[in-house]
Amino acid sequence: MTAEASVETGLVHCPAPGCECLCVHPVGVEVNSGGVITDVDHEGTRITKGKADGRGVTILVRFVCEWGHASLLRFHFHKGSTEFEIVPTSDPETYELKPTIWRD
């Protein structure tokens, strides 16, 4: 599933090949602003120092579908333009059903 198709439906679909699961949980958000990295997940908020990602801010929203596929919604701002993409990831640290950031 491409990012464009997800935007058209208004729902985030799992982008893993052959999955297209609609039960996709937000499990984390990371904002990298010039190497100052703010990470939010079910455990809370942490701020660390790291490496800048290009010349503009990068925002990552981490998702895991109920079948266990991890994916990233990535926004990157540079020179007045913001690009975005939804990509599957096989990062072993995120490739599991992690708790949703918050739910009642």
User: How many domains, in total, are found in the chain?
Assistant: 1
Q: Is residue 15 part of a domain?
A: yes
In this predicted structure, the answer to whether residue 92 has a pLDDT above a threshold of 60 is no
Q: Is 104 within a domain?
A: no
* Neighbouring residues of 30: CB distance < 8 A, sequence distance ≥ 6: 37, 38, 39, 40, 58, 59, 60, 62
Per the CB < 8 A criterion, the answer to whether 25 and 66 are in contact is yes
The answer to the question of residue 102 being in a domain is: no
- In this structure, is residue 10 part of a structural domain? yes
Q: Which pLDDT belongs to residue 19? A: 86
Domain membership of residue 95 (yes or no) is no
Judge whether 101 lies within some domain. Answer: no
Is the pLDDT confidence value at 94 over 60?
no
Domain range spanning residue 26? 3-89
Q: Give the residue-averaged pLDDT of 67-95.
A: 81
How confident is residue 32, by pLDDT bands cut at 50, 70 and 90? very high
* Domain-located, residue 94: no
Give the model's confidence band at 1: pLDDT under 50 very low, under 70 low, under 90 confident, else very high: very low
pTM for this structure? Answer: 0.82
Structural domain includes residue 69 = yes
